[in-house]
Structure formats: structure tokens, C-alpha cells
Structure 1
Amino acid sequence: MKVFRYALGVLGLLLIAIGGRLVAGLPDPLDVAVWLGGALVLHDGIIAPLVLAAGLLVAAVPARGLVRGALITGGALVLVTLPALLRPGAPVNPSALPLPYGRNLLVVLAAVAAVTAVVALVRRGRRSRPRG
């Protein structure tokens, strides 16, 4: 197991060296450093605390497994749609983004919330009925 760890460490260092060499060969490597710094601040300063706060809030919900699944689904939908929503200007190919992605994302998120609520209500109804 120790040999495997060292091999993975050496491979990681090799990949870091390759990445560093590729970045150093760019016309302006400072742009990459700024982007990486911004990603770090965004993730560690905003996204991670929000996810932890949501986890604490969900822990008190009776159907927490179902709500977690809905939140994971919603998060994945937002991540997939975000590049299309944040792209500045009109697309080069007008047929690439022919629909209103912002509105459609909200519709799909509302559908996820509605399905989650219906499933939670059905489960609650099944539990409260006496078996006989």
C-alpha cells in the first residue's frame, strides 16, 4: 500500500509539473492564476458554506433523504445550465440557444420541487394509514 501511495504522489507531482509548464507557455499566465484564485474564493467562500448551511437545514426535515435528492438534482440542473445562462452576448450560431434557458430552468426546478412534494405527501399518507 505504501508503494501505491508513493506512486500516486509521484504521478500527481508529474501532472502538476506538466500543467505548470503548459500554463507558463501561455501568453498571459497571470489570467489563469486570477481565474484559479477566483474559483477558489467562489467555492470555499460562497458555495461550500451555502451547501453546509443547506445540509444543516435539511437535517431537521422529516423526509431529509428525499429533499437531499431533490437538492442534488436541482444543483446538477443548475450546473449544466449555468454556462448557457452566463455566456455573454448572442451566440455565434443563433440555433444553439433558441430557447429562454433561464425560464426553462425555473420551470424544471419547479417540477422537481413539485414531484418531491407529491412523493413526500404520498409517503406520509402511507405511514399514517393503519395497516389491517
Structure 2
Amino acid sequence: MRVALGVLGVALAAYGGWLLLRTQDTGEVLTIGVWLGAGVVLHDAVLAPLTIVLGWAVARRLPDPVAAGAVVVLVVLGSASLVAVPVLVNSAGPQTNPTLLVRDYPLGWLELAGASLVLAAVVTAAVLRSDEARRRNGADPGRR
């Protein structure tokens, strides 16, 4: 089954590449290649190392349950922010990209950030309450 799915994936990617080369001029294909390459470079050279360093710093300074939630928020917002940079930058001026929906993209990013922080706070509170209940009941005597 895996081999069949792999063959199907390669065939669909080849078909997509063929369509791209057939329907777009050379300049557009190069622009797409630069865009895709820049995403990989930004992720590997900027986002991943920054996330690792910030995650390490956060994990050292916060209690374990809080640190886990903070690192998750960092990873989600970091990835979403990297993807959203072109849209957020272009939303300030006139719409030059006809594929963008007419909406308030910075507000959408702030909503994602707020929802991520609320979710992390709820999960952290649940873990802390669970740890406290376990300690109170004597089920986990080795914990702080």
C-alpha cells in the first residue's frame, strides 16, 4: 500500500510540474522556485534555530507544565507568522495580489495569537491542577 501511495504521489507531483512548466512562462517558474526555496531557507536558517534557542530558554526558566505550553505556542505562532509575512506586509497597501481575500489579515493573526495563548493557558492550568491533586492525594510523593 505504501509503495502504491508513493507512486501515486510522485505521479501527481510530476503531473503538477508538467502543468506548471506548460502553463507558466520561464520568469513565473523562476519566481515560484525562488519563493519555495526562500521558504526552506527561512525555515532552516531562521525559524528553526530561533525556535530551538527560545524554546530552550523558556524551558529553563518556567516550570515544566508551563514551559511545554509556552513552547507549543512559540512553534505554532512562529510557523504561522513565517507563512503570514507576505500577506501581513501586503495588507497594509493596495491589494496587488488578486488571490488574497478581502479581509483584515493582521487582525486574523492577532486572533490566532490570542487563541494560541488561551489554549496554552488552559492546558497549563489543567496540568498544574492535575499535578496538585496527585500530590494532595499522595499518589506522586516524589514531585516538588
TM-score range, shorter chain: 0.5 to 0.7
Deviations 1:80-123 (A, max 9, x none): 8645422162238xxx44x6937x83x985796699679969x5
Percent identity, please: 36
Distance change in 2, residues 1:65/1:14 (3 Å): same
The RMSD of aligned alpha carbons is 4.0
Structure 1 equivalent of residue 49 of structure 2: 49
Residues of 2 paired with 1:77 and 1:58: CA distance? 19
Residues of 1 paired with 2:95 and 2:19: CA distance? 29
| Deviation of the 1:79 alpha carbon | 6.1
Count of matched residue pairs: 120
Residues of 1 paired with 2:47 and 2:84: CA distance? 17
Q: Which runs of 5 or more structure 1 residues have no equivalent in the other structure?
A: none
TM-score (norm: length of structure 1): 0.59
Residues of 2 paired with 1:8 and 1:119: CA distance? 36
Q: Which runs of 5 or more structure 2 residues have no equivalent in the other structure?
A: 97-101, 137-144
Structure 1 equivalent of residue 89 of structure 2: 86
Distance change in 2, residues 1:58/1:33 (3 Å): same
TM-score (norm: length of structure 2): 0.55
